Structure 1
Amino acid sequence: MNERQHPLRSHAFGAHASTAVIDGAARKVLRNTYLLLAMTLAFSALTAGAAAALQLPRPGILLTLAGYFGLLFLVTRYRDRGLGVALVFALTGFMGYTLGPVISHYLSMPNGSQTVMLAMGGTAAIFVALSAYATTTRRDLSFMGGFLTVGILVAFLAGLAAIFLQIPALSLTVSAVFVLLMSGLILYETNQIVRGGETNYVMATVSLFVSIFNLFSSLLHLLGFSSNE
């Protein structure tokens, strides 16, 4: 695992290279990233399912933010050590736990199971399609980094405002914007791996996991609202 700078992503974006064809080193990073991503998604689904089955309460926005950013800081600090992988599981497991009560809420609604399944299917379809494009295109998508950084930060702050000010319309708007931003982040991060700009599979996994997590949550919110109309 090689070092790279990793600012806030709700998080972030590292340096970029100019190689158009994936080489052996990039292929290894991509393989390790997808392997770790698959395992963390499975682990997160397990913790989400357990939280939903046990009807655990929502941790609250402050605890959620503290847990997420605290674990993200530790992952970033130990990204070049074996401990970094364990911390990725801690982070993704915690995020799964925070999602459990949300899924439980939607499942209790009319057509809730269909809404959750549609959100899952939509997330999977978007991720597969964008990943396929990002790994085959010869275009350098590094130009998206600055836009995504600013967009995610603005959307994140708007989302906090929607929660604390209780503005449903703003919350829906933020969810729609996050669908676009997370789709862009999947494109960007995968393209960075392929072109050699992302060399740390731990951080690449976290970036893609957060993208998938937020994409699913946003689609679930939008579909849940639509089903109630």
Structure 2
Amino acid sequence: MANWSDPRPTAAPFGTSAADTRGAAYDAGLRSYMLSVYNYMASGVLLTGIVALLFASGGRDSLAAQVFLAPGILKYVVIFSPLAFIMVLNFGLNRLSTGAAQLIFWTFAAVMGVSMSTIFLVYTGTSIAITFFATAVAFLSLSLYGYTTKRDLSGMGTFLIMGVVGLIVASLLNLFFKSPAMAMVISAVGVLLFAGLTAYDTQRIKSMYAYVAGTDMIGKAVIMGALSLYLDFINMFQFLLSFMGQRD
């Protein structure tokens, strides 16, 4: 990494100011940082998909069917276990090494795959694939907007997070009411909320680079950024699947 405190005028090429050199190095570092975030996020989604597909292979005779269609609490343990990994990463990040954070992220993505394997028992493979590609296109567009826009999106962060909390409460209530109309409303609101969060989180992650560049925290920041975008993608996919998915 360049030493920006170096006062030697020879640090910058002829005809190029030190400020220009620093700016170019910062932009290169930012691109590398964001590329790492996207690589981790995409790899996590891929791992989740592979694990979900393998766990559900065999249809009604699959491991997924044996876990989720059988009585008992095991299915609830599997469904809610990803939350434990999210809590560890969010609240214990400062005490974790970068390697440990990476291991937890990959383990979380794998466990999430087990949890999501039920979609292959409910929806057709074709509708899952179509919804996945639709989600990917929407995610890329929204993330690109969040990365390139000059508009400050920080003001919408609180609104979006409050919306997610309300969405969770509504989803829990609908477990008792079992209202199809309410489920459709929840799905529609969920798609909009996580679409907004995709753009917001991308801009937030980009802004974070200024604080972690050149520090030991940059590796952990990459993992947390990837986790945020991963959750945005997965949630948007699941809510879209409620609309676009054809039941098996």
TM-score by length of structure 2 reads 0.73
Specify which structure has the higher proportion of helix.
Answer: 2
Q: 1:138 & 1:100 partners in 2: Cα distance?
A: 39
Shift of 1:49: 0.5
Residue 173 (structure 2) pairs with residue 169 (structure 1) = no
**SS of 2:50's equivalent?**
helix
Give yes or no for contact 2:42–2:230 (8 Å, CA) kept in 1.
no
Give yes or no for contact 1:51–1:101 (8 Å, CA) kept in 2.
no
1:105 to 98, 115, 122: 122
Q: How does 1:31-70 map to 2 (within 5 A)?
A: 31-54=35-58, 55=62, 56=64, 57-58=67-68, 60-61=75-76, 63-65=78-80, 67-70=81-84
Work out which of the two has the higher radius of gyration on C-alpha atoms and give 1 or 2.
2
Q: How does 1:1-229 map to 2 (within 5 A)?
A: 23-54=27-58, 55=62, 56=64, 57-58=67-68, 60-61=75-76, 63-65=78-80, 67-76=81-90, 77-78=92-93, 80-107=97-124, 113-196=125-208, 200-224=221-245, 227=246
Unaligned ranges ≥5, structure 2: 1-25, 69-73, 213-220
Identical aligned pairs, as a percentage?
26
Quote the residue 1:5 is aligned against: none
Q: 1:165 & 1:97 partners in 2: Cα distance?
A: 27
Q: 1:75 & 1:101 partners in 2: Cα distance?
A: 25
- State the number of aligned residues: 199
164 and 85 in structure 1: CA distance in 2 versus 1, 3 angstrom threshold: farther
Unaligned ranges ≥5, structure 1: 1-21, 108-112
140 and 26 in structure 1: CA distance in 2 versus 1, 3 angstrom threshold: farther
Q: Deviations over 1:18-65 (max 9, x none)?
A: xxxx84443333121111112111111111101210421336456422
Higher relative contact order (CA 8 A, sep 6+): 1
Q: What code does the residue aligned with 1:52 have? A: A
**SS of 2:123's equivalent?**
helix
Give yes or no for contact 1:26–1:195 (8 Å, CA) kept in 2.
no
Shift of 1:73: 1.5
217 and 196 in structure 1: CA distance in 2 versus 1, 3 angstrom threshold: same
Q: What code does the residue aligned with 1:74 have? A: V
TM-score by length of structure 1 reads 0.79
Q: 1:61 & 1:187 partners in 2: Cα distance?
A: 32
Q: 2:75 & 2:169 partners in 1: Cα distance?
A: 17
Shift of 1:165: 2.7
Q: 1:183 & 1:177 partners in 2: Cα distance?
A: 10
Aligned CA-pair RMSD: 2.1
Q: Deviations over 1:138-194 (max 9, x none)?
A: 111111110011000000111111123322221111111110011111100111122
Q: What code does the residue aligned with 2:118 have? A: P
